Amino acid sequence: MRHVFSVRIGPIGFRVGSDWREPIDQLRELYRYYPSPNLPDFTVRLEATRPWRRLVRPSIRIAGDYTLPEAAPLPLAQGLLAAEMAMNLQLALGGRRHLLLHASCVERDGRALLMTGESGAGKSTLATLLAAKGWRFMGDEFALIDPETGLVHAFPRLISLKNAGIAAAMAAQPDARFGPLLAGTPKGDIRHMVPDGLAVGAMDEPARPVLLLFPRYGHAAETLPVRGSEAFVRLTQASTNYVAMGEAGFATLTRLVRTVPAQAIDYPDGAAAVAQVEALWRTL
């Protein structure tokens, strides 16, 4: 392929091939301080939908080891988004060495907090808010649980900010590095933020999960314990590879819900959420 880029994010290595230079240049710039993989785990391809579409109304089809055949192509201007989506897809569909949970994760003193829920629940926003208060950011999309140890491994990919969240993040973290503004994507305006130096520098240090949260945005502040059986069911739904992991998946997830307390936390706004989380953390 014409233009190539490789990067390691936590334990997962990717190689990205592209028919165009621009997305590769952008990836290379934003992932500047990330390590390179020896052997990439996954291959991503950003391909022109037809040979002439490389130049005329350039349109990117996402391809690679794993694809979703019905995925719509993206315009070249959103090439960075295409690459990020493609990398997520490879891990989601192909990841086998760790149990994957659709969750954000932050760490303090070697202990990790996992936050999981549907889109819009705020797990990404909460993770970045906590990171701004000194927690180590371990990821906002996937938490990787090691079946042997039960530890969670960081996957600190670029943080995908949407619409109003963009201005909020830029105001809260003016020193952070941001990618280009991608307007008019299927999900509105998107801008990527590079995780801070601590997140990138410590990405190979796993942490022990000690608290699991199911946050819900836009409600009066309340915290309720979640029973193990309910946490188990919700986490199987939040995992893209639980079934594929077989016995290891069962052992890892049952051990997680039996050893880690779970709480549902309703919160009206970010500041309240941070306060609730830190209060909970102190009780552990």
1 binds another protein, rule: CB under 8 A: yes
38 binds another protein, rule: CB under 8 A: yes
Alpha-carbon gap, residue 246 to 133, rounded angstroms: 38
Contact 50, 78 (CB under 8 A): no
The binder of another protein chosen from 32, 133, 187, 227 (CB under 8 A): 227
Q: Which of residues 164-203 bind another protein (CB under 8 A)?
A: none
237 binds another protein, rule: CB under 8 A: no
In whole angstroms, the minimum distance from the beta carbon of 227 to another protein comes to 5
Strand partners of residue 192: 160
Residue closer to another protein (CB basis): 47 or 140: 47
Contact 42, 90 (CB under 8 A): yes
Q: Which CA distances in Å does 198 have to 125, 234, 276? A: 18, 30, 24
71 binds another protein, rule: CB under 8 A: no
Distance of CA 153 to the CA centre of its chain: 12
256 phi, psi to nearest 5 deg: -60, -50
Largest CA distance in the chain: 61
Amino acid sitting at position 147: P
59 binds another protein, rule: CB under 8 A: no
- What DSSP line would sit under 218-269, residue for residue? SS--EEEEE-HHHHHHHHHHT-SSHHHHHHHHHHHHHHHHHHS-EEEEEESS
Alpha-carbon gap, residue 59 to 87, rounded angstroms: 18
Per-residue contact flags (x/-) with another protein for residues 78 to 117, judged by CB under 8 A: ------------------xx--------------------
The binder of another protein chosen from 9, 46, 47, 182 (CB under 8 A): 47
63 binds another protein, rule: CB under 8 A: yes
In whole angstroms, the minimum distance from the beta carbon of 95 to another protein comes to 9
Residue closer to another protein (CB basis): 75 or 228: 228
The binder of another protein chosen from 88, 236, 261, 272 (CB under 8 A): 236
Residue closer to another protein (CB basis): 122 or 209: 209
Contact 84, 30 (CB under 8 A): no
283 binds another protein, rule: CB under 8 A: no
The binder of another protein chosen from 55, 254, 259, 269 (CB under 8 A): 254
Alpha-carbon gap, residue 246 to 241, rounded angstroms: 9
246 binds another protein, rule: CB under 8 A: yes
Q: Which stretch binds another protein (CB under 8 A): 43-51, 69-77, 105-113, 172-180?
A: 43-51
The pair of structure tokens assigned to 142 is 């996937």
The pair of structure tokens assigned to 257 is 């819900």
**Applying CB under 8 A, which residues contact another protein?**
1, 15, 17, 38-41, 43, 45, 47, 63-65, 96-97, 227-229, 232-233, 236, 242-244, 246-247, 249-251, 254, 257-258
